[in-house]
Each structure stands twice: as C-alpha cells, then as structure tokens.
Amino acid sequence: MPGWAAGGVNGRLQQADFLRKAATRGTIFLKVTLLKKITILGSTGSIGVQSLQVCKNMGYHIVALSANSSIDQFEAQVREFCPQYAVLADEAAYNRFTRRIADLPIKVLYGVEGLCKIAALPQNDIVLNAIVGIAGLKPTLSALEAGHDLALANKESLVAGGKLVTELAEKRHARILPVDSEHSAIFQCLSGFEGHCKPQKIILTASGGPFFGKKRDELQNVELSDALNHPNWSMGAKITIDSATLMNKGLEVIEAVWLFGVSPKNIEIVVQRESIVHSAVEFADHSVIAQLGLPDMKIPIQYALTYPKRFPCEVPRLSLKDIAKLTFYEPDMETFECLAACIEAITRGGLYPAVVNGANEQAVKLFLAGKIPFLKIGELVRRALNEIDCPMEHYHLDDVFRADRLARDFVLQNAD
C-alpha cells in the first residue's frame, strides 16, 4: 500500500489501525479511501486539526502539511502523519522547525512559495485550504492551476479574488468543494439538482454570535474575552471575532455569490441561534430544503473530502426531540455594520469585497492586540468601503493585493 510506504513506524501503526477499522466497513470503503492523497494548508488551526482527524478516520494519506508558526503542535502532527512535505509560513519558525525534525525524511519549505508548491504537487488528489486570511489566496490559485479539487475553508480566497478563483476553476475543470458549514449545507441541498434547477433563494443561517440581541450602546465596553466566547462553535481567534461582529456572515454572503452563482439580493440571512439548521435553499415552487446537524465541523470537512459519497462520521447524532425547538431571527445590520458593509461591497462588485476584507483583517488584528475597541472594527470597515475607490470589474491578482494593502493602510491611519 504505497500511501504508507515511506511512513516509518508511525505510518505503519496508522495503516494497521485503519485496516482494523476498515475491516468492519467493507472492501468498497477500503478501495475508495485508499485513492485519496490529501494536502492540508493550515493544519494547526481549528479546521486543520479536525481535518487531520477526519483523514485519520478515513485512512487518507497526508501528502503535505503547512502551518504558520506553531512549531510544537506542527512537529507533533508531522511526526504522526509523516507527510512528504512540511511548510512553515514564518521564516524564523522554519529555521527552528528544520533543526527539530532533522531525523525525519521530510522536505521542509517556507513562505508563500512553499505553500504554492505543495498546493500544486502532482500527487495531490485534493487540497484542503484552511489558512486564515488573504494569505490563502495564492495557494488556492496554485491548487486550481494544477487542476486539483479544492476543499475550501479559506473564505478570503473567494471574498477577495472570487472572479479569479472561479474562472480558473472552470478553466482547469477543478472542483471547489465548500468546507464552511453554511456553504456545505447549501452545496448538499443542491446536490442532485445541478444544471436543471437553479435556486430561487439561498437562506444563509447565522448563530448571531456572543452579542446577539445587543445594541451599540451595550457593546461600548466589550472585553476581548467576551468577544471570544462563542456560544456554539470552537474556532480560532480571528474567525471568532468575525462571528461576534457578524463580519463572518458578510464574508459568507460574498462567498455564496461566487460559489452558487446567485445575486446578493437572492440571499436571505437568518439568525438560527441553536446552530442546527446550517443553511437552506428555496426553489421556484417555494419548496425549501435545509441541512441540519449538530454544530460539528467534521461533518462538512468529511463531506468535502469524500464527495460525492458519504461515510460514517464520528460525530454525535442529531435528536430533534432533544433539541425541542428551533428559533429564527432577523439580523441587526445597524448594530453589526460589518454585515451590511459586506453586502454593499459585493453588490457594488469589482474590488470592493477585497477592500472590506483587508480592512477587517487589519482592524481585527488591532482589536486582538488591545489597540482599538470592539465597535471600531465595524466603523473602520464601513469607512474603508466608503472612502477607498476600487470599482474595477476586470482585475488581476496584483490588483487584489493592491486593494488589500490600501484597506490595511487606511485602517492603520484611521485607528485613533
């Protein structure tokens, strides 16, 4: 079994454990799983960690892994999964990491070039991009340029460069498989209807975050610990803050426009506090199909990696009797102005989505560092949208990063 041929002791133990589990699941399962070779970008983040668990459960072979600078956690992952390549985005972390794993037969790379190289490796069957931020855009394009299917958890690839990404995927006949729980839900609801039943409306659900129901005057003195206290999901710091401002939902509106070819006006946002209904689709006859499940990211991760097949997933079952009730509310776009700014940005088109994304990334960084208050995030995103002129419809990759830089500089200059 070549998937584990160079895996050493850990690889053989992983193989033996997989074969033991597979024996109870049948030879068809065995044949399917052995075909998959996966590269995971951003393996030390929340999505990356859960993706590795899914790959381990499925018996998939890990070709390459990447991390930013968390070398202790990354070393443990590399020693367990024995990839052929490991990439550190941070050069200082790369130098320390290289010395620490000198005993392993692994090629270590660093920086954007390293990320793009492993994303385009010919042995990849699928690349899962779980990098946070616009740093994920170039590796996304590299994976698609190589013709690889892309399991996409990096929102910013589509938000900042949606036109470039979708056009390249179409040109190279590569599939973009959404990993976000909401977009996975929409994708699942549309499965089987491709090409002959376009959705009339997408119903994009939101948890509402930790500050649901609060008004602006109640959010004046929000502490970082309050903003990081999400009621339903366990995520990284940046994404959790985005959820608290509802920026996350705004980014998902932009993603949905590119993924599913719908107009922003045909996307309805509904706050679903229990995070059980992950999104829904309304068709021309007003039938609504929804995807439900307990809030666990392993479900959408596994579906993206195994599509179009489904396999058992090690998550708890949903019991509607135990849930008892589901509640739905309209989002407060006046209080959470990041959401309204994102909808306006994608409605305008051009590079405006890249502007709001860049402004938000920089503003969140300042908030996490204690340099601006919580409400200032939305104010800066809105001002950047209003004051930076980026109407270009036909743009290139350099233009995307130029708009991103303009937005970040604007935030830094106006943060006081």
pLDDT of residue 29: 46
124 is in an annotated binding site: no
pLDDT of residue 195: 63
pLDDT confidence band for 249 (50 / 70 / 90): very high
What domains can be seen in the chain, in order of their start residue?
Answer: 2-178 (3.40.50.720)
236 is in an annotated binding site: yes
Q: Is 17 helix (H, G, I), strand (E, B) or coil?
A: helix
* Structure token digits, residue 201: 């409306």
Q: Which of 181, 75, 87 shows the shortest CA–CA distance to 127?
A: 87
pLDDT confidence band for 3 (50 / 70 / 90): very low
Q: How far is it, in rounded angstroms, from Cα 108 to Cα 123?
A: 17
Q: How far is it, in rounded angstroms, from Cα 300 to Cα 303?
A: 5
Nearby residues of 183 by Cβ (< 8 Å), 6 or more positions away: 252, 255, 256, 259, 279
182 is in an annotated binding site: yes
pLDDT of residue 34: 54
360 is in an annotated binding site: no
394 is in an annotated binding site: no
pLDDT of residue 392: 79
Q: Is 357 left (phi over 0), alpha (psi -120 to 50) or beta?
A: alpha
pLDDT of residue 11: 45
Q: What is the DSSP letter of 136?
A: G
pLDDT tens string 9-41:
444 445 445 444 544 444 444 444 457 999 999
pLDDT tens string 123-155:
999 999 999 999 999 999 999 999 999 999 999
70 is in an annotated binding site: no
230 is in an annotated binding site: yes
Q: What is the mean pLDDT of the chain?
A: 91
pLDDT tens string 361-399:
999 999 999 999 999 999 999 999 999 998 777 899 999
For the chain, give the number of residues. 416
Lowest model confidence (mean pLDDT) among 27-31, 93-97, 183-187, 218-222: 27-31
In this predicted structure, the answer to whether residue 235 has a pLDDT above a threshold of 60 is yes
330 is in an annotated binding site: no
Angle made by CA atoms 128, 291, 129, in degrees to the nearest 5:
10
pLDDT of residue 17: 53
How many helices (H) does the chain have, and how many strands (E)? 18, 12
225 is in an annotated binding site: no
Reported pTM: 0.89
154 is in an annotated binding site: yes
In this predicted structure, the answer to whether residue 239 has a pLDDT above a threshold of 60 is yes
249 is in an annotated binding site: yes
243 is in an annotated binding site: yes
184 is in an annotated binding site: no
In this predicted structure, the answer to whether residue 1 has a pLDDT above a threshold of 70 is no
pLDDT of residue 188: 96
Do 333 and 76 touch, CB atoms closer than 8 A? no
268 is in an annotated binding site: no
pLDDT confidence band for 198 (50 / 70 / 90): confident
334 is in an annotated binding site: no
In this predicted structure, the answer to whether residue 60 has a pLDDT above a threshold of 70 is yes
Q: Return the percentage of the chain with pLDDT > 70, whole number.
A: 90
95 is in an annotated binding site: no
pLDDT tens string 339-365:
999 999 999 999 999 999 999 999 999
In this predicted structure, the answer to whether residue 299 has a pLDDT above a threshold of 80 is yes
